């Protein structure tokens, strides 16, 4: 079955959605709904300083997988603290096309930033899962949301057959699926590729297996856990990813009745059970959004308090801010970063958690570009992540890349220019770099930022920044 349906809107409505239709509840009255357009731009002025308090809601990279995990139990699961971003809206549509009833509502508790003039940045999502969910995720959605691949494990476990479009690579790298496939194959699945689809079949069900991942892949660990919870017998995943988002999904699955041990360590053991129950679960806070503000405070020599996240999830990132000269205070579910003087250069190496997150690489480069001295930045996760360095160079950053290393020589100030967001994190990094550049910086293609940051503009304003968002006129088509 293929769908040629055009997705009419990519926003999660601010009001409770009553129908199951994709665009229900979205209308002109929904003030604050970001208009998604390829040419949307965010404009900031330089010499700005981030100061104030910002609250982070649930992590995109957890909520997406929690929504997929709901597929494992027929009935209604409720996930709260879900960020109101495009990627979540797309995942909602993926689940609807699998036959689920998906409803976004006012979050409980309500996002505290609403009280300071923002629109709600989090939602709760209720997912009604049928006894027999569909078995196909097609390319028109998977190409928009690579993470749709996370329905592979749960659907294979529930239905014994699944077809998911191969997501292909993207702007940050080639992004293989070999570890997902090798792991599921060890659990008894027969996996093939055809017409751009990954097709997995396990007509007699999945069985437990000993799996050692070549690399602690986040996505492969999640898919394998979701397949293993309903498999026959015990699965041991070695060299598993240890991210807080992995712990979050395991916590939800355990509350659904799954038997899992070792989450948060490199060895995860799952004993399969015949059936799981629906659940209500709150998404863990977004450490990448929180880290963006931590680096933003350091880059702009500001003073920012971030609430909504256990700061231990950002330990190495905050250590780097301290090494650069920042003052960091941590509390139970909050932290504060202050930078009074020009930052000092620090070297950064991205690694799987608990290492420095690759998603904060644009922020690390931004900080290095403004620091006193030279920094060596090494990217170990994605082969295309330095693509964004070209845009930073348009802002005057002195960056030389060689393979997966970049040498960044800091400058006192950058120089405002029009630049283009190439991915979610690059977009956020460029906007913050623009705050440290002389003159005006206009970042285009900010629909990428909407994919990961709920209302970035409102957060910037809450931190004292004057910022404009507009839709730039479309460029005329050139013909010969």
Question: Which residues belong to the active site?
Answer: 170
CA–CA distance, 320 with 430 (Å, rounded to integer) = 20
Question: Cβ(281)–Cβ(67) under 8 Å?
Answer: no
Q: Does 292 bind ligand EPU (CB under 6 A)?
A: no
CA–CA distance, 117 with 373 (Å, rounded to integer) = 40
Q: Does 446 bind ligand EPU (CB under 6 A)?
A: no
Per CB under 6 A, contacts with ligand EPU among 52-111 are 60-61, 64
- According to DSSP, residue 7 is labeled P
CB of 438 to ligand EPU, least distance (A): 29
Q: Distance of CA 166 to CAs 145, 148, 195, 200, 204, Å?
A: 11, 10, 9, 12, 24
Q: Are strands 122-129 and 101-106 parallel, antiparallel or unpaired?
A: antiparallel
- According to DSSP, residue 299 is labeled H
Q: Are strands 210-212 and 303-307 parallel, antiparallel or unpaired?
A: unpaired
Q: Does 379 bind ligand EPU (CB under 6 A)?
A: no
Tokens of 392: 């930073």
Instruction: Find the binder of ligand EPU among 179, 318, 426, 467 (CB under 6 A).
Output: 179
Instruction: Find the binder of ligand EPU among 217, 269, 401, 422 (CB under 6 A).
Output: 217
CA–CA distance, 212 with 309 (Å, rounded to integer) = 31
Q: Does 148 bind ligand EPU (CB under 6 A)?
A: no
Q: Does 354 bind ligand EPU (CB under 6 A)?
A: no
CB of 111 to ligand EPU, least distance (A): 20
Question: Cβ(81)–Cβ(57) under 8 Å?
Answer: yes
CB of 284 to ligand EPU, least distance (A): 12
Binding segment for ligand EPU (CB under 6 A), chosen from 210-218, 250-258, 392-400, 456-464, is 210-218
Q: Distance of CA 78 to CAs 280, 282, 400, Å?
A: 5, 8, 47
Q: Which of these, 48, 104, 60, 35, lies nearest to 453 by C-alpha position?
A: 60
Which residue in the shown chain puts its C-beta closest to ligand EPU?
219
Q: Does 382 bind ligand EPU (CB under 6 A)?
A: yes
Binding segment for ligand EPU (CB under 6 A), chosen from 127-135, 195-203, 214-222, 277-285, is 214-222
CB of 452 to ligand EPU, least distance (A): 6
How many residues bind ligand EPU (CB under 6 A)? The answer is 25
Q: Distance of CA 254 to CAs 69, 259, 279, 421, Å?
A: 11, 6, 10, 38
CB of 217 to ligand EPU, least distance (A): 3
Helix axes 287-299, 315-323, angle to 10 degrees: 0
Binding segment for ligand EPU (CB under 6 A), chosen from 157-165, 166-174, 185-193, 404-412, is 166-174
Instruction: Find the binder of ligand EPU among 220, 270, 426, 457 (CB under 6 A).
Output: 220
Q: Does 180 bind ligand EPU (CB under 6 A)?
A: yes
Instruction: Find the binder of ligand EPU among 258, 424, 431, 467 (CB under 6 A).
Output: 424
The SS3 call for residue 129 is: strand
* Binding interface with ligand EPU (CB under 6 A): 60-61, 64, 147, 172-180, 215, 217-220, 358-359, 381-382, 424-425, 452
């Amino acid at each position: 079955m293929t769908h040629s349906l055009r997705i009419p809107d990519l926003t999660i409505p601010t009001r409770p959605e009553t129908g199951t239709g994709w665009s229900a509840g979205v209308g002109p009255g929904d003030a604050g709904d970001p208009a998604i357009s390829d040419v949307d731009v965010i404009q900031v002025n330089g010499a700005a300083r981030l100061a104030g308090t910002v609250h982070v809601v649930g992590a995109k990279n957890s909520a997406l997988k929690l929504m997929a995990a709901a597929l494992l139990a027929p009935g209604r699961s409720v996930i709260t603290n879900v960020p109101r971003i495009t990627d979540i809206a797309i995942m909602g549509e993926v689940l609807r096309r699998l036959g689920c009833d998906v409803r976004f509502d006012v979050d409980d508790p309500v996002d505290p930033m609403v009280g300071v003039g923002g629109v709600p940045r989090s939602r709760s999502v209720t997912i009604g899962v049928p006894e027999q969910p569909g078995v196909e995720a097609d390319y028109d959605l998977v190409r928009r949301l690579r993470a749709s691949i996370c329905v592979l494990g749960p659907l294979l476990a529930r239905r014994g057959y699944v077809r998911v479009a191969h997501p292909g690579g993207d702007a940050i790298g080639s992004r293989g699926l070999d570890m997902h496939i090798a792991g599921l194959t060890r659990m008894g699945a027969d996996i093939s590729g055809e017409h751009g689809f990954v097709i997995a079949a396990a007509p007699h069900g999945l069985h437990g297996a000993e799996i050692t991942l070549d690399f602690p892949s986040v996505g492969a660990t999640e898919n394998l856990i979701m397949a293993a919870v309903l498999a026959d017998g015990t699965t041991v995943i070695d060299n598993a990813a240890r991210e807080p988002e992995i712990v979050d999904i395991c916590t939800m699955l355990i509350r659904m009745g799954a038997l899992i041990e070792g989450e948060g360590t490199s060895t995860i053991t799952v004993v399969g059970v015949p059936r799981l129950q629906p659940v209500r679960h709150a998404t863990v806070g977004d450490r990448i959004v929180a880290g963006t503000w931590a680096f933003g405070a350091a880059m702009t020599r500001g003073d920012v308090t971030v609430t909504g996240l256990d700061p231990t999830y950002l330990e190495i990132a905050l250590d780097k801010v301290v090494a650069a000269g920042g003052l960091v205070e941590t509390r139970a579910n909050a932290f504060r970063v202050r930078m009074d003087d020009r930052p000092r250069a620090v070297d950064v190496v991205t690694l799987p958690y608990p290492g420095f997150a690759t998603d904060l690489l644009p922020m690390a480069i931004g900080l290095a570009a403004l620091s006193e001295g030279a920094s060596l930045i090494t990217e170990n996760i994605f082969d295309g992540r330095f693509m964004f360095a070209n845009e930073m160079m348009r802002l005057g950053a002195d960056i030389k890349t060689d393979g997966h290393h970049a040498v960044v020589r800091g400058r006192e100030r950058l120089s405002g220019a029009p630049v283009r967001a190439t991915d979610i994190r690059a977009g956020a990094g460029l906007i913050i770099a623009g705050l440290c550049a002389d003159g005006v910086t206009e970042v285009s293609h900010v629909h990428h930022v909407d994919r990961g940051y709920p209302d970035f503009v409102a957060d910037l304003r809450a931190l004292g920044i004057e910022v404009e968002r507009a839709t730039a006129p479309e460029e005329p088509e050139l013909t010969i």
